[in-house]
Amino acid sequence: MKAVVYSAPRQFDVLTVPTPEPGEGEVRLCVEMAGMCGTDLHIHDGGFFSKYPLTPGHEIVGRVDALGEGVTEIAVGQLVAADNTVLCGYCTFCRRDEPLFCRNFYSLGVNGPGAFAEFVTVLAEKCFPVDDLSLSTAVMTEPTACAIHGMDVLDLRPGSDVLVFGAGPTGLVLAQLLVHGGAARVTVAAPTEFKLALAREYGVDSTVQIDRADPGASLANLRGQTADGYDVVVEATGAVAVAELCLPLVRDGGTVLVYGMADEDAFVSVHPYEVFRRELTVKGSFAQTHCFDRALAVLRSGRVRTEGIVTHRFDLGAYGQALEALRSDPSCMKAAIVP
């Protein structure tokens, strides 16, 4: 089969490699679509606990092609979205029911073979049928699951005034969950107007266009949207310059949710006295486990809409172009690999 294979950070080729065989309890998927996200840029550079050689691709939708021994709950030919996380079940954190901190966390497309390939093997128990959904909606299952975990972490107080920095795919999904999850008002701030227009179409209450080169220039405008500060500020960009704005915009007693992935060596200046005196809460949301069923529930209900999110599609041979579009094409909301 053909697959994207990294030999080291920033070094990849599209190679012919052996087609994987499903082991006991596994299925082989013929990949129909694999989404790309900002995490893939970090993986390209060697970040996010990636392990090489590696075939990336963690947002997986495929058709069941072959069954491993003992698999009875799923049939050949079914279209499924696959949860890429595999947990050991026996480390301290798994035994504490905190699986996201599993010390042996195995993630397809990060430290295990992923779906930027013609075929991928996954555990049958991690497959969720999506025959009733379009590919462009089904491929949003993993990002939506991550956003649902973010909502779990945030534990939103009903009636909150929320500001979301970022109108990328996961920012838009999280904003929609906030709209339907008890927020009194949701404002989205981002630099790209077509993404903000999509946010408004999805039902957010207001949008603010900020300068990508100087996000702080919009600070007064953002402050003008609320009398005492936002109850919650969500940082969904991973940009340090944006993260620096979060504490000044949150109200006394408010919460900042760090949802976007920054570089591992990035730092944000925080004044401990401000956190102490204003009793601020800072939370982080890393990824997801066990959220696929709820993600599919909100996608099927229409509470989370996805039309317009997947804007660019590439075959395996154009993987380098896909990376470049994701990194620097302002018209690219989300890229997907279609092997």
Identify whether residues 132 and 155 lie together within a single domain: no
The verdict on 176 and 251 lying in the same domain is: yes
User: Residue 227 — very low, low, confident or very high, per pLDDT cuts 50/70/90?
Assistant: confident
| Structural domain contains residue 297 | no
The answer on pLDDT for 209 being more than 80 is: yes
Residue 303 falls inside a structural domain: no
Report which residue type is found at 283: K
Check whether 339 has a pLDDT greater than 90.
yes
Residues 103 and 159 in one domain: no
Is residue 132 domain-shared with residue 223, that is, in the same domain?
no
pLDDT, tens digit (0-9, with 9 covering 90-100), for 173-188: 999 999 999 999 999 9
Report whether pLDDT(146) > 80. yes
| Shared domain check, 109 and 19 | yes
pLDDT score, position 293: 98
- Whether 300 maps to a domain, the answer reads no
11 with 65, same domain: the answer is: yes
Whether the pLDDT of residue 296 is over 80: the answer is yes
CATH number at residue 222: 3.40.50.720
Q: Does 305 fall in a domain?
A: no
Q: Tell me, what's the pLDDT at 265?
A: 87
**Banded pLDDT at 168 (limits 50, 70, 90):** very high
pLDDT digits (tens, 9 = 90+) for 44-100: 999 888 899 999 999 999 999 999 999 999 999 999 999 999 999 999 999 999 999
Q: How confident is the model at residue 213 (pLDDT cuts 50, 70, 90)?
A: confident
pLDDT of res. 25: 97
Q: Quick one: pLDDT at residue 206? A: 95
Q: How many domains does the chain have?
A: 2
37 in a structural domain: yes
Average pLDDT value for residue range 185-198:
96
The per-residue pLDDT for 211 is 87
Same-domain pairing of 92 and 171 = no
Q: Are residues 27 and 134 in the same domain?
A: yes
Q: What is the mean pLDDT of residues 215-229?
A: 82
**What range defines the domain where residue 210 resides?**
150-284
Q: Is residue 299 part of a domain?
A: no
Asked whether residue 114 is assigned to any structural domain, the reply reads yes
Q: Give the global pTM.
A: 0.95
